[in-house]
Chain A
Amino acid sequence: MNPTKTWRTWLPWVALGLAVVGALVAAGAFFILRAFDTPVRVGLAVALVGLAAFVYLEPERVRRWLTGREARYGSNALVLSLAFIGILAALNYLASLYPQRWDLTEDRRNTLAPEIQEVLRALDEPVTAYAFYSANINRDYAREVLDKFALASEGKFTYKFVDPIANPALAQQYGVTRDGTVVLVMGDRHEQVLFLSDEEIANALARLMRPEERVVVFVTGHGEGDIETLGETGYSLLKDELTNRNFTVRTWSLPAEGSLPEDADVVIFAGPTQPFTDKERQVIQDYLANGGSVIFLFNTSVEGAAEPDADLQAYLADQWFVQVDDTVVVDTSSPQQPLIAVGIPTARHPVTQKLAGLVVLFPVARSVRALDGAPATLSVEELLHTTDRAWAETDLAAFTTSTPEGAQVAYDEGEDLPGPVPLVVVAHDTLTDARIVVVGDADFARNGFYQAYGNGLLLLDAVDWAAGQENLITITPKPQTQRYLKPLAGYGLSALALTSICLLPGVVLVIGGVVWFRRRMRR
């Protein structure tokens, strides 16, 4: 075979192939980059050189293509194809203009509640949701929730996934510290959603639409923890996270001012170690009587808190039906650290609803109980309890007197409070809308423990609830069909495996084999 002839036959086609690839690369690169950048130029150059080479090597064929029968039919086919593609594109465009969706699921799982659709209709500015999800977490659920909003919003709600590890600058800009956070951005305002659900996004949207300053005040003057201290004993992490959630956070010296700030949505007493004066106590009482919201975090006296501020305790018990005990919780669920009480959410409440599956660690806590007999206008609820392996020790001397054998602490029936020991109580006066949250520990939210389990979340949600921000949108709960797997006996699972893997494919294989064999025999 003549080698020259061989390469003369394939070289033009290689050149034409290169031209097509070059043109495709250039078009694709331009489509993605939207700029006349290097990849586009290189692609175009390759396409031109390839085309020129083909024309040079096959002039006769090109002439035939351009003038002959092929050209005529080819151009007809091209015009017809373009018209057909145009019609299809128009149909698809029309379908995108008038979206129609039918939700076939039994519980209308893919349909937003009417209240949320109302919020979306009321949106007057476009909202972009940045879902900060690293490659480590599954995006399916987030996509499902965000899609519902994007589809129901008629273009006003869009979302993007951002990998916070690959794009730390954007994460930092919106103060994102947890993987899986969604940030809703509207104009120059933004709201963080830490636990994704329809309701959480709707509430964040409602807050974005009604921007108003929300103020959290940390009272100082009685040895309370400091929100600026970065070390383990400070509350700076809590302060940062509240700031990220658009709260204005500041301190306020009760002894110096002699009052509580009027613009505060929530006032926090984070572990006072000194008792309050009569006047200060009166200020707190008046503040609550006028519908204020207060979060009390009480440490135990074995940690140095002056004990007892009996008057404040009496006020909380008499007026709010919240009993703050002079006890120390001993929790044997972790034998190495019996003074760390492990709190488990035990009630359905806005403060604990996001803690599903998470515990809260309270290092050295006292018990806080809800008392019976509260009037109908006052709802008092215990939210977190220890397990029944803990108790509240009333003999505090045992913790401070050191004996050669070490502290002798044991459960004394009749004297100590048996587990499960209540640790957090909330009370809501529906007449004045005053709200209090009382926690039998102040250390769980300090920097040292803030990021453990649900510790930070508990306080963040407590602040939201106390500020009346927990449910701007109340949604009538949809009835959900509860499903469960029927129990199977031991051999049931094996039978299941056998039928699903072997039976059906096996039957197909056998029939296939028989058909093949019969055809072979016939030949």
Chain B
Amino acid sequence: MRTVWIIARREFRRYFTSPVGYLVLFLYLFILGLIVNNSLQQAYAFSVFQGAPPPGADIVIGPMLTLLVFSIPALTMRLLAEEQASGTLELLLTAPVRDWELVVGKWLGAFLFVVVLLALTLIYPLALHLLTEPGLDWGPVISGYLGLLLVSAALLALGVAVSALFRSQVAAFVVTLALFLFLWMISSLASAGSPSEGVLRYLDFGHHFYTSFFRGVIDLQGVVYYLSVTAFGLFVGTVIIESRRWRG
């Protein structure tokens, strides 16, 4: 585990020494700020005329998943692809580091970065809390952020696995994004009430988020689903790295 932690710390630091980390942080916070501000201005306009209920944490948490889908490929594309392109992966494979430690370490580093990113966005619920009387309902904030952490963990694991497949960071980015979009839209493939609908909806990672965590509910099924996808992604990543030892 010490090795995992060393790799994770190294990866985490690298986000703050490279422009990509700051660019992702900036774009994420800027777009989220625009959306939240827009919703708030609208809410104020409505509250003058109709006494409508104030916006809840959903105006912050709602767009965050979409933004994560587009940001995470940028965070994971480098992780293993760069090591392969620069040839340092071979070096790592000969070092006393187990394959899974390498993959989990890389994933953990990226996950810690996303935790920082999500923690920065907490300023918006806090602002809403100060603008609302008698304050915000914190239940959906807690469940929403927990959901976002779980989704991030799962998406990062898939991203790491895809990154292990490529030497080119651009290829890793494009394939990761395509995979995320596919998993996001998968339930719309079978909306015609076919028997596969239930299975496809279950595989849809947005479905678990929007039907529970987003609404203020912690759903055991959703937790198990996201942890399973995380485990799956890390496992596949490990198998791909391991296969480099025996592939021709």
In the complex, identify which listed stretch (A91-99, A322-330, A368-376) lies at the interface while the others stay far away. Answer: A91-99
In the complex, identify which listed stretch (A242-250, A312-320, A494-502) lies at the interface while the others stay far away. Answer: A494-502
The interface size of chain B toward A, counting residues with CB under 8 Å, comes to 67
Q: Which of A142-160 contact B (CB under 8 A)?
A: 143-144, 147, 160
Say yes or no: A488 contacts B19, CB within 8 Å.
no
Task: Let me know if B51 is at the binding interface, CB within 8 A.
Answer: yes
Say yes or no: A70 contacts B246, CB within 8 Å.
yes
Contact residues in B for A84 (Cβ distance below 8 Å) = 231-232, 235
Contact residues in B for A397 (Cβ distance below 8 Å) = none
Say yes or no: A104 contacts B133, CB within 8 Å.
no
Contact residues in B for A169 (Cβ distance below 8 Å) = none
Contact residues in A for B44 (Cβ distance below 8 Å) = 485, 488, 493
- Among residues of A, the one whose C-beta sits closest to the C-beta of B58 is A140
A519 vs B19: C-alpha distance when bound (angstroms): 11
Say yes or no: B248 contacts A64, CB within 8 Å.
yes
Chain A proximity of B137: nearest CB distance (Å): 4
Chain B proximity of A359: nearest CB distance (Å): 16
Contact residues in B for A105 (Cβ distance below 8 Å) = 137, 139-140, 215-217
Instruction: State whether A32 and B189 are in contact (beta carbons under 8 Å apart), knowing that A104-B216, A485-B44, A497-B41 are contacts in the complex.
Output: yes
Say yes or no: A504 contacts B29, CB within 8 Å.
yes
Q: Which of A464-523 contact B (CB under 8 A)?
A: 481, 483-486, 488, 493, 496-497, 499-502, 504-505, 508-509, 511-513, 515-516, 519
Contact residues in B for A33 (Cβ distance below 8 Å) = 194
- Among residues of B, the one whose C-beta sits closest to the C-beta of A102 is B218
In the complex, identify which listed stretch (B2-10, B72-80, B107-115, B123-131) lies at the interface while the others stay far away. Answer: B123-131
A3 vs B174: C-alpha distance when bound (angstroms): 30
Contact of A32 among B23, B37, B140, B190 (CB under 8 A): B190
Contact residues in A for B206 (Cβ distance below 8 Å) = none
In the complex, identify which listed stretch (A73-81, A403-411, A446-454) lies at the interface while the others stay far away. Answer: A73-81
Chain A proximity of B69: nearest CB distance (Å): 19
Contact of B133 among A77, A486, A488 (CB under 8 A): A486
Chain B interface helix/strand/loop/mixed: helix
Instruction: State whether A99 and B217 are in contact (beta carbons under 8 Å apart), knowing that A31-B196, A32-B189, A505-B29 are contacts in the complex.
Output: no
Contact residues in A for B40 (Cβ distance below 8 Å) = 496, 500
Say yes or no: A106 contacts B220, CB within 8 Å.
no
Task: Let me know if A274 is at the binding interface, CB within 8 A.
Answer: no
Most A-side CB within 10 Å, residue of B16, B29, B195, B235: B29
A143 vs B232: C-alpha distance when bound (angstroms): 30
Chain B proximity of A483: nearest CB distance (Å): 5
Instruction: State whether A496 and B243 are in contact (beta carbons under 8 Å apart), knowing that A95-B224, A110-B217, A512-B23 are contacts in the complex.
Output: no
Contact residues in B for A161 (Cβ distance below 8 Å) = 191
Task: Let me know if B221 is at the binding interface, CB within 8 A.
Answer: yes
Task: Let me know if B171 is at the binding interface, CB within 8 A.
Answer: no
Say yes or no: B137 contacts A91, CB within 8 Å.
no
Say yes or no: A32 contacts B196, CB within 8 Å.
yes
Contact residues in B for A94 (Cβ distance below 8 Å) = 224
Task: Let me know if A38 is at the binding interface, CB within 8 A.
Answer: no
Task: Let me know if B34 is at the binding interface, CB within 8 A.
Answer: yes
Most B-side CB within 10 Å, residue of A81, A101, A505, A511: A505
A202 vs B217: C-alpha distance when bound (angstroms): 22
Say yes or no: A88 contacts B30, CB within 8 Å.
no
Task: Let me know if B211 is at the binding interface, CB within 8 A.
Answer: yes
Contact of B217 among A88, A104, A160 (CB under 8 A): A104
1/0 contact string of B221-248 vs chain A (CB within 8 Å): 1011100100110011001001100111
A161 vs B219: C-alpha distance when bound (angstroms): 23
Task: Let me know if B143 is at the binding interface, CB within 8 A.
Answer: yes
Say yes or no: B217 contacts A103, CB within 8 Å.
yes
Chain B proximity of A147: nearest CB distance (Å): 6
Chain B proximity of A102: nearest CB distance (Å): 5
Chain A proximity of B162: nearest CB distance (Å): 16
Q: Which of B117-161 contact A (CB under 8 A)?
A: 120, 123-124, 127, 131-134, 137-140, 142-143
Task: Let me know if A109 is at the binding interface, CB within 8 A.
Answer: yes
A160 vs B47: C-alpha distance when bound (angstroms): 34
A104 vs B61: C-alpha distance when bound (angstroms): 15
Contact residues in B for A69 (Cβ distance below 8 Å) = 246
A132 vs B247: C-alpha distance when bound (angstroms): 55
Say yes or no: B22 contacts A508, CB within 8 Å.
yes
Contact residues in A for B211 (Cβ distance below 8 Å) = 143, 147
Instruction: State whether A515 and B143 are in contact (beta carbons under 8 Å apart), knowing that A91-B224, A95-B224 are contacts in the complex.
Output: no
Chain B proximity of A493: nearest CB distance (Å): 6
Most A-side CB within 10 Å, residue of B120, B139, B194: B139
Contact residues in A for B224 (Cβ distance below 8 Å) = 91-92, 94-95
A106 vs B211: C-alpha distance when bound (angstroms): 17
6 smallest CB-CB distances across A and B, nearest first, come from A512-B22, A104-B139, A105-B216, A100-B220, A95-B224, A505-B30
6 A-B residue pairings within 8 Å (CB atoms): A32-B190, A92-B225, A101-B220, A104-B216, A485-B54, A508-B25
Q: Other than the known A92-B228, A100-B220, A501-B34, what 18 A-B pairs have Cβ atoms closer than 8 Å? A: A32-B194, A70-B247, A80-B239, A81-B235, A95-B224, A99-B219, A104-B140, A104-B143, A106-B137, A109-B215, A144-B215, A484-B54, A486-B131, A488-B131, A500-B36, A500-B40, A504-B120, A512-B25
* Interface residue ranges, B against A (CB under 8 Å): 16-17, 19, 21-23, 25-26, 29-30, 33-34, 36-37, 40-41, 43-44, 47, 51, 53-54, 120, 123-124, 127, 131-134, 137-140, 142-143, 189-191, 193-196, 202, 211-212, 215-221, 223-225, 228, 231-232, 235-236, 239, 242-243, 246-248
